[in-house]
Amino acid sequence: MRPLAQMLLACVVALITGCEHSPGDPPGPIPRPAEVTDFSTLYSENCAACHGANGENGPAIDLANPEYQALVDDATLRKWISGGMPGTEMPAFAQSAGGMLTERQVNALIAGMRQQWWRPNAFAGATPPPYAQPQDGNAHDGEQTYQARCFACHARSRQQITSPDYLALVGNQALRSIIIAGRPDIGQPDWSHLGPGGKTATPLSAQDIDTIVAYLASLRNSAQAANNSPERPAAATPTGR
């Protein structure tokens, strides 16, 4: 199985089995799940399996990265945690979206992440590219930028990020967040330290990132089109009546 897929499957299993109390648990009043508003309990029961025990070293983005915390606003965090993140394995948690958490619990998670993982001046004075991925990035330019800025490491990295199997599990916004904020836990540099020069590299521009994400999306989309294609001729074949 693909590495990311395998790890995410393990998360889902941990999530399901982690919710049950085994017969060996000490007796005592167990708070009703909806009453729990303690951040570390909420985080470890709902998020740690995928995002890592302390917000890092999980298969999914490291929420403990101060650059990520500085990049994303509360409304966006609420949107993804409540409703899930399309195109990824990130589930919807709000009761209003079919999940298990109340609005108060989602707010407690956001407040807790800010308190634990947000740092002042996380970008050391630099201005990061905007968080949101636009729709109109130029995939052709992105391929060239990918070759110049990503290929040297990713031709030999563990995770084949240009493989359609990987891209099928990661949405465009998730790619963009990782490119801008980096993943210090697994060795992905942030947008300002990418490329041959490392620490002295010219930071990627917002447009570079728009186009690299569009390029990766185009690899995902053409693979999906190819996967779907066997059905198309069948549907279009005249029935001969």
d(CA 222, CA 164): 9
Burial class (CB in 10 A: 0-12, 13-18, 19+), 190: buried
Site residue total, ligand HEC (CB under 6 A): 47
Give residue 142's identity as a one-letter amino acid code: G
Instruction: Please report whether residue 219 would count as binding ligand HEC according to CB under 6 A.
Output: no
Please name the residues in contact with 19: beta carbons below 8 A apart, sequence gap of 6 or more.
45
Quick one: which segment of 25-33, 118-126, 188-196, 222-230 binds ligand HEC (CB under 6 A)?
A: 188-196
Using only the alpha carbons of the chain, give its radius of gyration: 20
Quick one: which segment of 19-27, 49-57, 133-141, 222-230 binds ligand HEC (CB under 6 A)?
A: 49-57
Quick one: which segment of 86-94, 121-129, 220-228, 231-239 binds ligand HEC (CB under 6 A)?
A: 86-94
Q: In the complex with ligand HEC, which residue's Cβ is closer, 4 or 24?
A: 4
Pick from 186, 172, 179: nearest CA to 64: 186
Q: In the complex with ligand HEC, which residue's Cβ is closer, 87 or 232?
A: 87
Give residue 40's identity as a one-letter amino acid code: S
d(CA 139, CA 216): 8
- List interacting residues with ligand HEC (CB under 6 A): 4, 8, 11-12, 15, 46-47, 49-51, 60-61, 63, 72, 77, 80-81, 85, 88-91, 93, 109, 149-150, 153-154, 157-159, 161, 170, 173-175, 177-179, 183, 186-189, 194-195, 212
